[in-house]
Amino acid sequence: MMSGKKNNSNQLILSLGGNQGDIKKTFLSARNMITQEVGSIIKESSIYQTQAWGVENQADFLNQVIIVETKLSPETILEKCLAIEMELGRKRMKRWRERTIDIDLLFFNSEIIQTENLQIPHPRISERNFILHPLTEIIPDFIHPILNKSIKYLKNECSDDLKVFKY
């Protein structure tokens, strides 16, 4: 898992999140568009429900993590994911606000990527139970390339006290 470069393809891990509208339907549309635009989804976590992170008085979020096999570059993937978010009604306003869909690039193989627009692994993975729970479901033993700890270990050590439930 996550070795990448099989047949010149890469393994990408994306998170889907949202708390407005018909979220499950939006996730289905997002997964279909990701399959068309980015690559084949080879594994997906359950959908999890959690309180809004970083702000109070918002509807709970649903979150899911997917593994995608792709031949695209990380920068191209970012562009395509931003376009998918816009097509599905995402309006970028304040940080941590309500949204129909949020697609984050979490990992790209085991690579460390830092550009002006992109940071992989996602810098806040280890702080967020709503990401660590679905990641633990599908890749518990994957080693975070910067922190050098397994996803399962990071989940067990996470100080985020927001409760996460399978939806």
What is the pLDDT averaged over residues 121-128?
94
One of 3.30.1390.20, 2.60.120.430, 3.40.50.720, 3.30.70.560 is the CATH number of 10-166, namely 3.30.70.560
Output the CA–CA distances (angstroms, integers) from residue 16 to 7, 8, 24, 64, 152, in the order listed: 26, 25, 10, 5, 20
pLDDT at 90 over 70: no
Summarised one tens digit per residue, pLDDT across range 62-78 is 999 999 999 999 999 99
Domain limits, the chain: 10-166
Bridge-based pairing of strands 61-70 and 164-166 is unpaired
CA-CA distance, 38 to 12, in Å (whole number)? 10
DSSP 8-state code for residue 45: P
Half-sphere exposure of 36 (CA within 13 A, CB side): 8
Give the pLDDT band (50/70/90) at residue 5. low
Which residues are known catalytic residues? Answer: 90, 99, 102, 104
